[in-house]
Amino acid sequence: MQSQKIVHFLLFVAFFSVGAGALGGAALCDDLILYWRNEQLVRDAHLSLDRLRSLNDEYDALLKELQDDPNLLRRIAPATLGTLPEDQNAVYPRARARELAVARRALMDESGQRTDGAAIPKWLQRCSEPRHRMALFLAGAGLVLISLVFFTPKADVSEG
């Protein structure tokens, strides 16, 4: 008799837990999707901040080098500003706008690939569809009802 009560209790806990989880998932599906989207936005913002910090560090290092070596500005000005070099024997690379655009796109694609892993999970997308959501709600409600009807402890009725 004691083992039967333990089995009834374990079945009640299992059915009720799964049913309550399904009901909660169906009811909170929109909030879960909103949570995943917000997490994605926060990750993107952190990546942008990290990128901006690294650019600031690079510019600070460049400014420090410019302050330490005033001749550096004369050497890099023709390459960066596109002016004619003062030294006729110097060779400076000339990048076209198209080449710079391709390089910029390649760098942006590389930084964009790091955030693809945090998309909304497929199971959550499927659960958010109205027919799946309704089925999940009904299945959860059915499991809760089954657990309450069949596996709750029975009151001892004494005749008397």
Q: Is residue 129 part of a domain?
A: yes
Q: Is the pTM of this model over 0.75?
A: no
Q: Is residue 156 part of a domain?
A: no
- Cα–Cα distance for residue pair 5/58, rounded to 1 Å: 70
Q: Locate 128 and state its tokens.
A: 């958010």
pLDDT number for residue 97: 75
How far CA 79 is from CA of 29, 75, 84, 92, in Å, comes to 55, 8, 9, 6
Listed as ranges, residues in the chain with pLDDT below 70 are 78-79, 82, 85, 90, 92-95, 110-118, 155-160
Q: How many domains does the chain have?
A: 1
- Cα–Cα distance for residue pair 151/144, rounded to 1 Å: 10
Domain span including residue 140: 2-85+92-150
